[in-house]
Amino acid sequence: MTAERVFVGTRARTSGAEQDDINALLVERARRGLTVVRLKGGDPFVFGRGAEECEALQAAGVPFHVVPGVTSAIAVPAAAGIPVTHRQVASAFAVVTGHECDGVSSLDWEALARVPTLVVLMGLSALPEITARLLEHGVPPDTPAAVIASGTLPAQRTVVGTLATLAAEVAEEGLEPPATVVVGEVVRLRERLSAETVGLTHPARGLVSQV
């Protein structure tokens, strides 16, 4: 068995043009009669443009299968000892993208501010704006919040602070993308489910300032 491997990933955001190129590539190879695997990190339907690729395939009459994945929105907080829900602490969670172009400014921050756990994917560069909006809409400044960079990888680093302090602390520590932001009381559970003593699958190796 041999396979052609085409790398189409990006560290930063993919522009629309590049997404069109990916769609065209999938269709072109499939039409040649090849079996094509489009491999993505995380889940293809969680800000992964999976639906757009499915639409392109559908429009071209190419049959496809979708295999859901383990999303970083849940698995990366877990890797840092933070559950997104907890019966006594959070009975709902919301997931948004922090990519400016995908809608930091278009999101309904007033509504998101009222969801017990908020997870922001790709939220590092917009972190000062995101925390400011949540504070503006009444989330208490001492709400625990965390950023996990390179989650589940050997380079994983976690910074824990409060909504008021997080952006400054993250800047000071020089965290780099990819990163996942979690805001809510569930972040406090990290102390009780601490990786230090019990060892989660991917113990946080980074910086912890106690909340």
Taking contact as CB under 8 A, which single stretch among the options 28-36, 37-45, 128-136, 160-168 is the one that binds a second copy?
37-45
Stretch of 24-32, 92-100, 124-132, 160-168 lying at the interface with a second copy (CB under 8 A): 92-100
Taking the C-alpha atoms of residue 206 and residue 79, their distance in angstroms, rounded to an integer, is: 12
**147-186 binders of a second copy (CB under 8 A):** 186
> Residue 91 and residue 85: Cα distance in Å, rounded?
6
N-to-C CA span, the chain: 52
**42 close to 26: Cβ distance less than 8 angstroms:** no
Task: Give the residue, chosen from 23, 97, 150, 180, that forms a contact with a second copy under the rule CB under 8 A.
Answer: 97
Is 31 among the residues that bind a second copy (CB under 8 A)?
A: no
Q: How far is the CB of 165 from a second copy (least distance, A)?
A: 24
144-149 and 117-121 beta bridge pairing:
unpaired
Q: Which of 22, 27, 36, 54 binds a second copy (CB under 8 A)?
A: 54
3-state secondary structure 105-141: CCCCHHHHCCCCEEEEECCCCCHHHHHHHHHHCCCCC
Q: How far is the CB of 49 from a second copy (least distance, A)?
A: 7
Per CB under 8 A, the segment of 82-90, 142-150, 164-172, 174-182 that binds a second copy is: 82-90
Distance separating alpha carbons of residues 41 and 17, to the nearest angstrom: 20
Cβ burial of 134 (10 Å; 0-12, 13-18, 19+) is buried
Among 2, 10, 35, 197, binds a second copy (CB under 8 A): 197
Site of interaction with a second copy (CB under 8 A) = 43-47, 49-52, 54-55, 57-58, 62-71, 74-75, 77-79, 83-87, 91-97, 102-103, 106-108, 110-115, 186, 189, 192-194, 197-201
